[in-house]
Amino acid sequence: MTEVPIQWIANTHALENPKSRLAAELFPQGLPQKVRRLHSSIPGYRMSPLKSLPNLARRIGVGGIWVKDESARLSLNSFKVLGGAYAIYRKLLERGGYEPDELTLKDLLQLDGEHREKLGHPVFATATDGNHGTGVAWAANKMGFPAIIYVHSLTTKDRIRGIERQGGHVVVVDGNYDDAVRQATKDAEKNGWEIISDTSWEGYEEVPRWIMQGYATMFVEAQEQFSGQGLSRPTHLLVQAGVGSLAAAAIGFYSVLFEDNVPLSMVVEPTKAACLFESMRIGDGKPHSVTGELDTIMAGLACGDPNPLAWETLYNCADFFAKCPDYVAAKGMRVYSTPLPGDPFIVSGESGAVTLGALMYTMEYDGAGDLREAMGLNEESQVLLINSEGNTSPEEFRSVVWEGSIPVPEEFKIRSRVEE
């Protein structure tokens, strides 16, 4: 039986508790702006574009579709470097006994002998499906330190080569992403390495918190860009999730910034790796893992163990949780790459495109009428999406976009209700 395009759950707990204590702790007043200033000191930094798709918005029946396009961030094709670089920055300050404002990221990229002696000889390690490891390798390499990056056995050769191009030493682990996390952590503890993980566990929360804080740069930029368009904020936010760090950062940021008028949010996961959706479905307020091969084209979202730190924010702040099969992400990739006349072209990888596919099915699929109504999506809605990655795996990208692999099943093909 063919999977339906979208399954969803409303988070009634969030509707009763609109602001998370952890969100306020994650983004205290002034911190997001400070993080953005630090990132802006990196040579080559520039704001990623906020792209408008007005014609697609009209076609599906919303007021605006706004895409924060991270496909070319620091030439690494992903937003992940924002979190990895900021976490390494904070870890090095801690190692050297520096105050938070004593050194900038730019200073750490140009280390002299005195500072380098104080910092010692750290080795950074992490597990990844590709993008996070690439960002950690890039940041460590730029600062003159080694990075050991653990990947699972299904990681594509393109993603492995991308990590190696940034100076990372790659270790391949049998199993899935969660197995790679466990092996990286075990080896780091054994060898005295600094683990830079974007998921948390008992006794390990500081670094994942720094990573989520590093992502704030995207949303500070987006708010400046919205202001330039005469808008104060998006009305709706759809964010993809693996362990949940990006989703918690996005939803947490907007929950704190617009405490009395928070944009309505939906977390979107792959059907075969929907650990946050399942945690919400179980309904006891705790994070729960899903098991299996986590076999999805959305490699960056193929995570079975939620980030407990992120879960707390999402449980208190995210309004809806959804899961979608691979063909929804593939459709999003093709729509981004073949835009309607007048809309911009966007290069989006599998994990970056699933929220566009989810939005289109929410608006156009007859079976999503209840979700559409519950979210209040209509001609006045201004929807923010995050294109979290560009073409990070060219072979798979071409297979989907050029060759048409993972097509939409016949029964779920949509004909527009709007005349061309």
Q: Tens digits of per-residue pLDDT, 237-246?
A: 999 999 999 9
pLDDT of residue 112: 73
Q: Taking the C-alpha atoms of 281, 409, 131 and 185 in order, what is their torsion angle to the nearest 10 degrees?
A: 40
pLDDT of residue 376: 98
Q: Tens digits of per-residue pLDDT, 68-82?
A: 999 999 999 999 999
What domains sit in the chain, N to C, each tagged with a CATH number?
7-78+215-412 (3.40.50.1100), 80-204 (3.40.50.1100)
Higher pLDDT, 107 or 35: 35
How is residue 204 annotated by DSSP? B
Higher pLDDT, 16 or 276: 276
Q: What is the mean pLDDT of residues 14-26?
A: 74
In whole angstroms, give the CA distance from residue 372 to residue 358.
11
In whole angstroms, give the CA distance from residue 370 to residue 382.
19
In whole angstroms, give the CA distance from residue 44 to residue 49.
15
Q: Taking the C-alpha atoms of 376, 271, 84 and 218 in order, what is their torsion angle to the nearest 10 degrees?
A: -20
Mention every residue, 6+ apart, whose C-beta is less than 8 A from residue 413. Answer: none
Of 35, 134, 121, the closest CA to residue 81 belongs to 134
190 is catalytic: no
pLDDT of residue 107: 84
User: Is-contact 163 78, C-beta < 8 A?
Assistant: no
* pLDDT tier for residue 415 given thresholds of 50, 70 and 90: confident
Query: Which H/E stretch holds residue 218?
Result: helix 216-228
Q: What is the mean pLDDT of residues 162-174?
A: 96
Q: Tens digits of per-residue pLDDT, 331-342?
A: 999 999 999 999
pLDDT of residue 19: 65
User: Is-contact 150 128, C-beta < 8 A?
Assistant: yes
User: Is-contact 317 237, C-beta < 8 A?
Assistant: no
Which one of the listed residues 51, 69, 129, 305 is annotated catalytic? 129
pLDDT of residue 100: 80
Residue that is written with structure tokens 């080795």 in the block? 123
What does the DSSP assignment read for 110-146?
A: T--HHHHHHH----EEEEESSHHHHHHHHHHHHTT--
Which one of the listed residues 80, 91, 272, 323 is annotated catalytic? 80
In whole angstroms, give the CA distance from residue 80 to residue 136.
8
pLDDT of residue 108: 85
pLDDT of residue 246: 98
Classify residue 9 by burial, with Cβ atoms within 10 Å: 0-12, 13-18, 19+. Answer: middle
Q: What is the mean pLDDT of residues 197-212?
A: 94
Q: What is the mean pLDDT of residues 374-384?
A: 98
CA atoms within 13 A on the CB side of 120: 13
Q: Tens digits of per-residue pLDDT, 109-147?
A: 887 777 788 898 999 999 998 899 999 999 999 999 999
Of 212, 125, 198, 194, the closest CA to residue 163 belongs to 125
Q: What is the mean pLDDT of residues 85-108?
A: 90
Structure token digits, residue 327: 């063909």
Residue that is written with structure tokens 């987006």 in the block? 222
186 is catalytic: no
pLDDT at 247 over 90: yes
Higher pLDDT, 60 or 17: 60
pLDDT at 20 over 70: no
pLDDT at 419 over 70: no
Classify residue 49 by burial, with Cβ atoms within 10 Å: 0-12, 13-18, 19+. Answer: middle
User: Is-contact 163 135, C-beta < 8 A?
Assistant: no
Higher pLDDT, 175 or 20: 175
pLDDT of residue 358: 98
